[in-house]
Amino acid sequence: MSEQNPVPDDPAPEPPDVFTPSDDDIPPEGLYTRVILWAADLPWWAIILIISIVVVLYSMSTSIAYKNVTRWLTDDPQVKTDDLFDVVQVVGEPSMITGRFVGETGDSVNTVINELLESSIDSEIVTHTGFLVRETPATLTIATDDGGTVHLRKENITAEERTGSGGDIQITVNYVDRVTVTGTLVKQNDDMMRIRTVDEEIDSFDPARVISRTDNADGTITFERDGAVITGILSVLSNINITIKAGEDQTAEYRRDTLEWINVPTLTVAVNADANRRTIAPGDTVRVAFLQGTDIIEALDQLDSLDNVPVPLRYTDGSAQVSLLPYPDLETALAAVGAGEADGLVYLDAGPDRLAVAEWVEANPDAGVVMPDDPRECNKDCEVSFKRLDDTITGVILEEDADTITLQLVAPEYIEIDKNKIVENKRMEPGVCALNNLRGCNEGIFLTLRVTFQAYALALVIGLVVGLMRVQTNPTTIFSKWMNTVLQTISTLYVEIVRGIPLLVILLYAGFVISPRLRDIFGLNLSDEQEAVIGLAFGYGAFIAEIFRAGIQSIGRGQMEAARSLGMSYPQAMRYVILPQAVRVVLPPLGNDFIALLKDSALISVLALPDLLQLGRLYVSRTFRAFEGYNTVAIMYLMMTLFLSMMVRIIERRTRLPE
Amino acid sequence: MSQANEPIIQIDNVHKRFQTLHGTVYALNGVSLNVMPGEVVVVVGPSGSGKSTMLRCINRLETIDAGSITVDGLPLRGARNINKVRAEVGMVFQSFNLFPHRNALDNIILAQRVVRHRRKREAVERAHDLLAKVGIPEKADAFPAQLSGGQQQRVAIARALAMDPKIMLFDEPTSALDPEMIKEVLDVMLDLAREGMTMVVVSHEMGFARAAADRAVFMDEGRIVEEDVPDVLFSTPSHDRTKLFLSKIL
Ligand SMILES: Nc1ncnc2c1ncn2[C@@H]1O[C@H](COP(=O)(O)OP(=O)(O)OP(=O)(O)O)[C@@H](O)[C@H]1O
Ligand SMILES: [Mg+2]
């Protein structure tokens, strides 16, 4: 008779244990020997892998380029931040007023409520005392002792007590005055929140610019400064303002009367007075003078874009021969033009000398040089510089040394609110990404990890439910037989359809088909991230369902029968007997799927999400450092997956049943 | 519910057939059997004669196609709370079917907690008592894979007894065991029989049948061919088929 074993055979036989010297037969060794022994026992591919990882990580950690791309891919985490959350909180402070009820009027409730909203938002938490004047269905108006009136919304009143009658009612109410606090949460504990309501402003500048300094009575210092020189790309130049591009899509506007000087590249053309009247035939030679060291190519380009080119220069780019004549300075160049040595001068300057030609021509009317056109200022997309007039600045000195003075212009302001007094939490969004505020880290590797974990959790739920639906039960009634068929059909359809469609297509469906429909029909607004999570989970749910089904079916029928014969219901038997055993069977394939999901999460970049891959591509397209960019992306994925497969092994080992 | 003079199990003209890929198998063809409270019935018969199927019908692991089964006064067909009936009927399987992910103690505790809603301490106490009763108090922490077949079967018996069943069904409890282990299991069953437990035992252990059983039943081709006191049935069977069968196994 052979012994029948009810334990399902372990699907993954334990791999031969890594060599561990046991205390019995080997004398104790030093750490060094043990490490060598351990290393010697590793397979060759593991040694190569470890060495190359060490080499790669070392060279990456010492390279500035890799440092930059790593920062970029990890959402530029700060070490520490105060900006924990951006918050808007409504705080209610119960306070009490006493007064006299004067009478009732049919005043419009709406106007009173509007007035109330205005006065309560951004107001301080105050206590009023006074007399009650008016009552409407929604509000009370009370004449306070100090002669003013307050309007209270009845919903804010927590208790009220009236004495007297007729037109002379004394009233005492407790009410909640609401204050909206907007700011950045910098600290919180169980009962307090510290919110920065005013951001600090700091300016630092070169001590060389200081003209005078005055100490003020309030401890601040006022500097009179020499205006700063500002350089930028011109976007609008008018008689009143100059607008330059300051950032990628930001502009800064300055009034021209606050500027000491302004240098805009200016093109000046001067020609020989005789040549100006001559017509130029094809084949003629046009001699164009220019100053050595100026950018004649740029100047000619600009000349080309003029509509009204002076006659001798008109053919420079056409069929006439052009000869370019460099001159060392303006004086000789203009003299040469006047003497007919050159037909004309093309002069482009962005510096203070930009009007020098015009001045010379004006000063030497008889030199035989004329200016057919006024000097033309560039009016868009060229580099300009200007200097602001002297300015003053007042603040508290934070730091002062030979190179910089740093002033605090606006000190940060904080408000501490009692958590119990918060009546409404209007907004709470994670602030800056930092080691002490990982909630604020939303991009790159963090997004990849978060989407993966969320999608996997959801996929596990879907997989378990669908997997259970697919398992054949032993139906006892007509109804349960019918239910069984319906559930099995649904789950089989789901698994077959989803497994047959590329995950990328499912993601695009989630993002561009399902989500807009949900918005239109149910008004449900899904964020891009939620779409990605749902798409990934839906796609992986099918695979996980199959894993669960196989796992459950690998547990012998006898287990279910034994559980049922003890009086357990089907769900109880599943929960306590079948699933705990099935989980051990499905753990390795589930771990593999998790790693696969982590890698497939790279597909979510099609939904314009800044995940690891997407950020890597952005970095490469900006810096053209494809080598460093994609290397780092690959290494990061690799480190995550290696870590995960290690975790999966450990969990597998931990949950193994004793033999 | 049931009086002492009324059968605790009434099987009346039960038919059961299985649809398989190769056609219909008629496992039970009009089986009728009454078991009185405290009675020990041994069922013998050739392989495929429907012994297991009959047992499994008694706690409705299989549904029946015709006839009726009443357990402890409750008709099984359409019984709403079948789990309540099952909790009153303990079953011991040929292949033990212990829960491999739980140790011996937890195997015995689980259903007490989940089905009987006993408090933890009470369930643990009961489990220890039962392990002592089946003779392996020291194996409480062992997992099924660490136990011998006989020990596993004794844990399985303890597990069924923990529910305080009124009836125990045994489906060839010793036929997967090595000979030296058979005795330890049979001893436990003999004790149970002496304590007055109602038992239906499918087994070909003649020694046990003679010592413990009030009645022996011979089944063939889904029918009960004859029944009698074990000594009589085994030594002087009246049917040819019984004679043929007994001559093969003795
Ligand atoms: N789930 C099932 N599906 C199809 N046929 C079944 C099923 N269970 C039992 N049978 C058939 O019913 C008949 C009776 O089976 P049963 O297991 O009751 O026999 P048994 O008397 O217990 O035999 P053994 O002594 O070999 O255990 C057999 O022909 C068997 O093949
Ligand atoms: Mg059988």
CATH, residue A360:
3.40.190.10
Q: Is A620 helix (H, G, I), strand (E, B) or coil?
A: helix
Q: From the CA of B164, how far away is ligand 1's center (Å)? A: 29
Q: What is the pLDDT of residues A349-374, one digit of tens each?
A: 877 788 888 888 888 888 788 887 77
Q: For the CA atoms of A526, A529, A533, A539, what is the dihedral angle to 10 degrees?
A: 90
Give yes or no for a contact between B126 and B162, defined as CB atoms under 8 angstroms apart: yes
Band (pLDDT 50/70/90 cuts) for residue A335 is confident
Contact B176 A4 (CB under 8 A): yes
Which among A286, A328, A291 has a CA at the least distance from the CA of A309? A286
Q: From the CA of A302, how far away is ligand 2's center (Å)? A: 102
Contact B97 A6 (CB under 8 A): yes
Contact B83 A577 (CB under 8 A): no
> Cα–chain-centroid distance for residue B212?
14
> Environment class of residue B182 by beta-carbon count within 10 Å: exposed (0-12), middle (13-18) or buried (19+)?
buried
Q: For the CA atoms of A541, A542, A548, A550, what is the dihedral angle to 10 degrees?
A: -170
Contact A558 B93 (CB under 8 A): yes
Contact B101 A581 (CB under 8 A): yes
CA dist A313 and A304 (Å) reads: 10
Q: Is A116 helix (H, G, I), strand (E, B) or coil?
A: helix
Q: From the CA of B56, how far away is ligand 2's center (Å)? A: 10
What residues have CB less than 8 Å from B74, skipping those under 6 apart?
Answer: B85
Q: Do residues A445 and A531 share a domain? A: yes
Q: Do residues A449 and A342 share a domain? A: no
What residues have CB less than 8 Å from A393, skipping those under 6 apart?
Answer: A203, A205, A222, A223, A225, A407, A409
A475 at B interface, C-beta within 8 A: no
pLDDT of residue A119: 40
CB atoms within 10 A of CB A316: 21
Q: From the CA of B236, how far away is ligand 1's center (Å)? A: 28
Contact B97 A562 (CB under 8 A): yes
Q: How far is B177 from chain A (nearest CA, A)?
A: 6
* Residue A633 maps to a domain: yes
Q: Closest residue (by CA) to atom 16 of ligand 1?
A: B50
Q: From the CA of A394, how far away is ligand 1's center (Å)? A: 98
Give yes or no for a contact between A405 and A205, defined as CB atoms under 8 angstroms apart: yes
Specify the range with the lowest mean pLDDT, choosing from A115-119, A197-201, B46-50, B164-168: A115-119
Higher local confidence (pLDDT), B138 or A100:
B138
Q: How far is B91 from chain A (nearest CA, A)?
A: 6
CATH, residue A469:
1.10.3720.10
Q: Do residues A359 and A443 share a domain? A: no
Q: Do residues A317 and A444 share a domain? A: no
Q: What is the pLDDT of residues A613-625, one digit of tens each?
A: 998 998 888 888 8
Q: Is A134 helix (H, G, I), strand (E, B) or coil?
A: strand
| For A655, nearest residue in chain B (alpha carbons) | B101
Q: Which ligand is nearest to the CA of B50?
A: 1
Choose the mutation target among A3, A565, A583 for the interface with B, i.e. most B CBs under 10 Å: A565
Specify the range with the lowest mean pLDDT, choosing from A29-33, A594-598, B107-111, B209-213: A29-33
* Chain A contact set for B90 (CB, 8 A): 565-566
Specify the range with the lowest mean pLDDT, choosing from A166-175, A478-487, A488-497, B238-247: A166-175
Which among B77, B67, B80 has a CA at the least distance from the CA of B16? B67
pLDDT of residue A437: 79
Domain end (from A377, A400, A429)? A377
Contact B61 A565 (CB under 8 A): yes
Element (H, E) at A278: none
Band (pLDDT 50/70/90 cuts) for residue A233 is confident
State the first-to-last Cα distance of chain B, in angstroms, to the nearest integer: 41
Domain end (from A354, A377, A400)? A377
Ligand 2 being an ion, which residues bring their Cβ within 5 A of it?
Answer: B 52
How many domains is chain A partitioned into structurally? 3
Which among B115, B57, B61 has a CA at the least distance from the CA of A561? B61
Pairing of strands A85-101, A169-188: antiparallel
Q: Do residues A181 and A94 share a domain? A: yes
* Residue A407 maps to a domain: no
Give yes or no for a contact between A236 and A242, defined as CB atoms under 8 angstroms apart: yes
Q: Closest residue (by CA) to atom 29 of ligand 1?
A: B48
Q: Which ligand is nearest to the CA of B57?
A: 1
CA dist A316 and A358 (Å) reads: 22
- What's the domain range around A524? 439-654
Q: What is the pLDDT of residues B126-161, one digit of tens each?
A: 999 999 999 999 999 999 999 999 999 999 999 999
Q: Do residues A371 and A443 share a domain? A: no
Q: Do residues A284 and A182 share a domain? A: no
Contact B159 A566 (CB under 8 A): yes
* Residue A231 maps to a domain: no
**pLDDT at B223 exceeding the cut of 80:** yes
Backbone angles phi, psi at A479, to 5 degrees: -60, -45
Q: Do residues A513 and A649 share a domain? A: yes
Q: What is the pLDDT of residues B92-102, one digit of tens each?
A: 999 999 999 99
Domain end (from A164, A198, A232)? A198
Q: From the CA of A156, how far away is ligand 1's center (Å)? A: 76
Q: Do residues A468 and A573 share a domain? A: yes
Note the pTM of the prediction, 2 decimals. Answer: 0.64
Helices (H), B96-148: 104-114, 120-133
* Chain A contact set for B63 (CB, 8 A): 476
CA dist A421 and A93 (Å) reads: 6
Residue type at A239 in one-letter notation: N
Instruction: DSSP for A507-551, please give it.
Output: HHHIIIIIHHHHHHHH-----HHHHHHHHHHHHHHHHHHHHHHHH
Q: Which atom of ligand 1 is nearest to the CA of B51?
A: 21
Q: How far is A659 from chain B (nearest CA, A)?
A: 6
* Residue A26 maps to a domain: no
Contact A6 B110 (CB under 8 A): no
pLDDT of residue B120: 93
Q: Is A66 helix (H, G, I), strand (E, B) or coil?
A: helix
Q: Is A627 helix (H, G, I), strand (E, B) or coil?
A: helix
Residue type at A200 in one-letter notation: E
Element (H, E) at A252: strand A251-255
A555 at B interface, C-beta within 8 A: no
Q: Which atom of ligand 1 is nearest to the CA of B16?
A: 12
A580 at B interface, C-beta within 8 A: yes
pLDDT of residue A2: 43
pLDDT of residue A130: 57
CA dist A452 and A641 (Å) reads: 12
Q: Closest residue (by CA) to atom 19 of ligand 1?
A: B48
Specify the range with the lowest mean pLDDT, choosing from A45-49, A110-114, A560-564, B206-210: A110-114
* Residue A106 maps to a domain: yes
Which position has the token pair 């305080």? B164
Q: What is the pLDDT of residues A277-326, one digit of tens each?
A: 766 666 677 788 888 877 777 777 777 666 555 555 655 455 667 778 88
pLDDT of residue A120: 40
| For A582, nearest residue in chain B (alpha carbons) | B101
Band (pLDDT 50/70/90 cuts) for residue A110 is very low
* Residue A19 maps to a domain: no
Choose the mutation target among B81, B114, B169, B204 for the interface with A, i.e. most A CBs under 10 Å: B114
A8 at B interface, C-beta within 8 A: yes
Q: Which ligand is nearest to the CA of B45?
A: 1
* Residue A56 maps to a domain: no
| For A570, nearest residue in chain B (alpha carbons) | B83
Residues touching ligand 1 (Cβ under 6 Å) are B 18, 20, 25, 27, 45, 47-53
Contact A7 B84 (CB under 8 A): no
Q: Do residues A462 and A566 share a domain? A: yes
Q: How far is A10 from chain B (nearest CA, A)?
A: 12
Contact B111 A4 (CB under 8 A): no
A554 at B interface, C-beta within 8 A: no
pLDDT of residue A254: 86
Q: Which of B11, B14, B16, B18 is the pocket-test mutation for ligand 1 (most atoms within 8 Å of CB)?
A: B18
Q: What is the pLDDT of residues A454-468, one digit of tens each?
A: 999 999 999 999 999
Q: Do residues A582 and A457 share a domain? A: yes
* Chain A contact set for B82 (CB, 8 A): 476
Contact B83 A559 (CB under 8 A): no
**pLDDT at A517 exceeding the cut of 70:** yes
Q: Which of B49, B65, B201 is the pocket-test mutation for ligand 1 (most atoms within 8 Å of CB)?
A: B49
pLDDT of residue A74: 81
Residues 476-505 on A with a CB inside 8 Å of B are 476
* Chain A contact set for B175 (CB, 8 A): 1
Give yes or no for a contact between A564 and B97, defined as CB atoms under 8 angstroms apart: no
* Residue A402 maps to a domain: no
pLDDT of residue B14: 93
Q: Do residues A484 and A614 share a domain? A: yes
Give yes or no for a contact between A593 and A544, defined as CB atoms under 8 angstroms apart: yes
Would you say the ipTM is above 0.85? yes
pLDDT of residue A319: 60
